[in-house]
Amino acid sequence: MILITGGAGFIGSNLVKAFNDAGRDDVVVCDDLTDAAKTPNLADRTIADYLDVQELAQGLAAQTLNLPITAVCHQGACTDTMENNGRYMLENNYTFSKLLFDWAAARQLPFVYASSAAVYGASRTFTEKPENECPLNVYGYSKLLFDQYVRRRLNEIESTVVGLRYFNVYGPREQHKGRMASMIHQLRQQVLQTGTARLFEGFGGCGHGGQKRDFIYVGDIVAANRYFLESSKPIKGIFNAGTGKARTFNDLANAVIDTLGCGRIEYIPFPTELVGKYQSYTQADTANLRAAGFQLPFTELEDGVRQTMQSEP
């Protein structure tokens, strides 16, 4: 059985779908459905069991968790980059992650987890080295703190332990995320409702809409998770999960507009509250990911936008 935390969320539910499509329904989902908006992500899936996140956390802390789990895919986290409650962020993204990791490591279970490119902050070098890591917010710090914990433990563990530093992931099944949904989802809604796609004006050396991000389709993220989870030999390390190809927000908006067949771009002032907290450029160095054996090609942005929007209601 595979334990997927955050299994009702965006990436987690796409993983559940992928396992179901491959003929596997031995999936245990852990999540928090206090906000029931995520429920549709599981309604068309088949799972073996469901655990509330508090139930799992309590079982881990009390060492009473007794599940026939053979692998752990840890996607659950607070991903709100504007969240300022550091205690809440660290409880969710660090303390809980340690408990789950220690439980899996003691049983030598493959453990693949979601880290984030937010650990790099304003760096212009995106190689998985400590000197490049300087997060701009507590979300990025919480992810880095857990990466550091894992790094200290790697030499003593014989089973697979892999952290995937997600860059800008987009795709279907993120309708519940609101303002934290990918820009593709937000731009589509803007064009459908107002006829315009709103992008930031130039700031920090970038022209209007010229900020660049490494946008990666969720199907590629799912494939990377499955590659490491299902590897026949143990793999250990922290790897960037991006395409290695930065694209502008103008490119993104134009792909949305072209797919819809309507709309135009409007530029709005850069928000003062994001000054010093915003990544204007990200581009994954994928050398280590490729060296670890993941060789599947990445989806081009225009193709990924088309696939995403074809799946939207």
Given 94, 113, 120, 139, which residue is catalytic?
A: 139
Does residue 143 carry a catalytic annotation?
no
Alpha-carbon separation of residue 70 from 8, 66, 106, 246 (angstroms): 20, 12, 12, 36
Does residue 177 carry a catalytic annotation?
yes
User: Across 16-135, where does the E strand assignment appear?
Assistant: 27-31, 49-52, 71-74, 111-116
Cα distance between residue 208 and residue 269, in whole Å: 10
User: What residues pair up with 73 in beta bridges, in sequence order?
Assistant: 4, 112
Alpha-carbon separation of residue 271 from 69, 127, 206, 274, 284 (angstroms): 45, 29, 14, 6, 26
Cα distance between residue 209 and residue 235, in whole Å: 39
Torsion on CA atoms 81, 87, 92, 96, rounded to nearest 10:
150
Where does residue 313 rank: exposed (0-12), middle (13-18), buried (19+ CB within 10 A)?
exposed
Decide the pairing of beta strands 212-213 and 247-248: antiparallel
Given 88, 98, 177, 277, which residue is catalytic?
A: 177
Helix (H, G, I), strand (E, B) or coil at 220: helix
Where does residue 291 rank: exposed (0-12), middle (13-18), buried (19+ CB within 10 A)?
exposed
End-to-end CA distance of the chain: 32
Encoded amino acid at 178, one letter: G
**Residues with catalytic annotation?**
139, 177
